[in-house]
Structure 1
């Protein structure tokens, strides 16, 4: 592996979507082929670069790009095992969502604007994933807010604009809190690189109040995008956005950015021993447990399909925070695996919801009667992803929950098992009726003009649904998300 180009690999991964996105903004609406080509070239190039980096990180290589930014604080893009878990998910699902979005928006106006911001959103996501210090993370974290706002309001309706204002108010407020936390930490510890095990341990006993306040500010700021209760109010409203945007928000970009930021703060800024010594994660653990149950209860009340899925996200993403807050290596494996598993399951569900709406005009749960006979392949994908969310073995969700439950017992927190069981029952309570309606209820409406979703909507859906099965069935294999999560934990905990 050449040392001449290796340091620039993280930058190239960011630029592979940034440059096509900027070029797409210059295209006229009728330049469909050029727009598609730029999208696909960018995503294929990004995937190839990520595969190279994955191979290098697995062998112990370090990928680092650094330029001066603020006095004493460089801008750093760095490829490590943790960043690659998130970047791989983002890149793979960008490919699937790009194909889905091309089919979804065929014949629609303002495609250059949409796909331009779509690419900027992915660039910001991989940038924060590859960030090598808190200031770099903060920069891309705020860029993500600016890139996703136009996607939320893309339809331009009154409901979309209202959702956009709420989204901007929440995320800018969260960004302000994050900035305050980063500034406070910088004042007491400067801004070193992210370090496995954290870098704040030498300050214990000297500035404990500042460390505690900074942690609270960071978690509150990141908790907005991670949709922790009571900071989740923007997420259900944002469901007025087009289906590809919903898929991006829930599975790849915004909520995952918040959860990933919490992972970085706990493991690579503070470190497990420091947060344990300061007793910082106990409130976070309880908040994550409450959010899991609350999100599931609210999902049970929703009749709109996308809103039900939105509250499901509020619940499911908090599994990641729960696993991190348990501070044990087994629970950490479950949390890091769920970062990928939840993304695969949730993106599949939103693809299906978009296909139901676009193909058959189905938006409400009660309108799903007979969908399995009209759109059998899409309904199969929905069923697999929903069963995975419930935690049915051997699907992806079961693997995550198994490790979270095992990890809770390993650190003597058996009450977490109650949270997981209650959440699983509630998941079944709001997903199984949807599956039943789709396969077994008699249709109350006329037949669709089509018997299945268009190919460009269907194939990405089947692809991600297949991954929901494969990452569960082959969880023990070396290349699985679970195995990579174990690699991360071994390095973070020094095992």
Structure 2
């Protein structure tokens, strides 16, 4: 098959789905079938690009300035991100078909169409050839997901959407854009290259300032204090929370920071800055503070939102350790967290559909009536915690190795290890106690409930199964992460 043609297909398939879904509102079954079939085709295309021998192909869509092109190319990190997003788009479509109908959500055609448009933005981000292209579609993703956040149309949804838009666009324009301009003026290019493009072009004594601009400018990564958009976005329907705010939007943030560290600044060059190690304080504080806040939240989706804030910073932490184990661990966590967290959000939505309960304190005893839902929740929780027999163990394993191998100040090395240990214990408390209480504590009332629709259960089962599968066979994700970090693929 033609390699450039497959790249184009990956970029335009979700756009075609957006148009078709918009025209098929009168036929819900056909509309949702189009969404599912397109997601399956997109995953197949990405899988073909992953399997095919890599070709140095760059597609230039526009060149407003010679050194600033809107261009796309295939990289191994982009393939990893695209595989996750396209695969979980299919699963979420199956889940949404049951959830949206069972919950009697309005404007379902608009929902599925905007969902496809958001995936198109994600594909453009994944295959961006340079930081300029990535920035453009980073902003497009924000705008295209805003109507999904405000889908309910309530005053709470509008408030959440306003905060979502204000924080994400305000931080990207205020910090990300200046950082990109400084990079372009210094290097004369924004094209991604292994090892970075800034070596010898920026004074290392000021490099930490540039990195702070990137860290806070890419607020989709959820670093404190620019994290409040994520809990606010939980007013969206659960399928939106599950894919866009556990996979696509937040992963676009950490994906961007990984790209900056690996292919704009370069780990070796960043390590030459003595102050760069103190950048780790930001993700360390975010990990611990977000976990502590999660412990206090009684609303289930809000607790999961703060868990996401914490878990995203594991990826940032791995990136800024600037050693091979940390970078591999952070890259692997990009995938492991996606499968685990989408399982948890699916379970939260299933509980809402079946029982209309949203508070953690109301779930006692519910596991005996909804055993599948809470077993899946327990699997997702244990993977995020990093327990054996679940895929999340391997990303945590490499992150811990990265902390041990860290060559900065001894106090920072100890701080990394202690942060990972304490946060794991906090994860156990605020996540694993939920299914434990659901199965083993007396019910809070005498109401009788049943499981959510079958499509919701099937959709939950798939990522839960992947959490287990990736413990026994993590080679796909590990090999991709190793290629990305060592330079065999961007």
Q: TM-score, normalised by structure 1?
A: 0.93
Match of 2:55 in 1: 61
Distance 1:322 1:173, change over 3 A: same
Alpha carbons 1:374, 1:447 under 8 Å: kept: no
* Per-residue Cα deviation, 1:49-77 (whole angstroms, up to 9, x for no partner): 01110002xx4434432232321122111
Alpha carbons 1:328, 1:407 under 8 Å: kept: yes
State the distance in 1 between where 2:334 and 2:211 align.
22
Q: Secondary structure at the match of 2:151?
A: coil
Of 110, 115, 137 in structure 2, the residue corresponding to residue 113 of structure 1 is 110
Match of 1:357 in 2: 352
Alpha carbons 1:250, 1:347 under 8 Å: kept: no
Match of 1:184 in 2: 182
* Alignment of 1:336 onto 2:331: yes
* Alignment of 1:488 onto 2:476: no
Distance 1:182 1:168, change over 3 A: same
State the distance in 1 between where 2:467 and 2:245 align.
16
Alpha carbons 2:186, 2:202 under 8 Å: kept: no
Match of 2:200 in 1: 202
State the distance in 2 between where 1:122 and 1:279 align.
39
Distance 1:105 1:493, change over 3 A: closer
Alpha carbons 2:343, 2:463 under 8 Å: kept: yes
Match of 1:36 in 2: 32
Alignment of 1:107-146 (within 5 A): 107-146=104-143
Q: Secondary structure at the match of 1:265?
A: helix
* Structure 1 portions without partners, runs of 5+: none
State the distance in 1 between where 2:361 and 2:354 align.
16
* Alignment of 1:11 onto 2:5: no
Match of 1:289 in 2: 284
Deviation at 1:440, TM superposition (A): 0.5
* Alignment of 1:93 onto 2:93: no
Q: Secondary structure at the match of 2:186?
A: helix
Of 305, 310, 313 in structure 2, the residue corresponding to residue 318 of structure 1 is 313
Deviation at 1:240, TM superposition (A): 1.2
Q: TM-score, normalised by structure 2?
A: 0.94
Deviation at 1:188, TM superposition (A): 2.3
Distance 1:425 1:91, change over 3 A: same
State the distance in 2 between where 1:473 and 1:453 align.
29
Match of 1:462 in 2: 461
Distance 1:438 1:219, change over 3 A: same
* Per-residue Cα deviation, 1:218-269 (whole angstroms, up to 9, x for no partner): 22111x1111011111111211111001112332211111111110011100
Comparing 61-70 with 304-313, greater Cα deviation is found at 61-70
Of 268, 274, 281 in structure 1, the residue corresponding to residue 269 of structure 2 is 274
Distance 1:215 1:416, change over 3 A: closer
Match of 2:65 in 1: 71
Match of 1:51 in 2: 47
Q: Secondary structure at the match of 2:124?
A: helix
Match of 2:433 in 1: 433
Deviation at 1:449, TM superposition (A): 4.4
Alpha carbons 1:293, 1:419 under 8 Å: kept: yes
Deviation at 1:278, TM superposition (A): 3.0
Distance 1:213 1:431, change over 3 A: closer
* Structure 2 portions without partners, runs of 5+: 408-412
State the distance in 2 between where 1:442 and 1:389 align.
26
Distance 1:429 1:21, change over 3 A: same
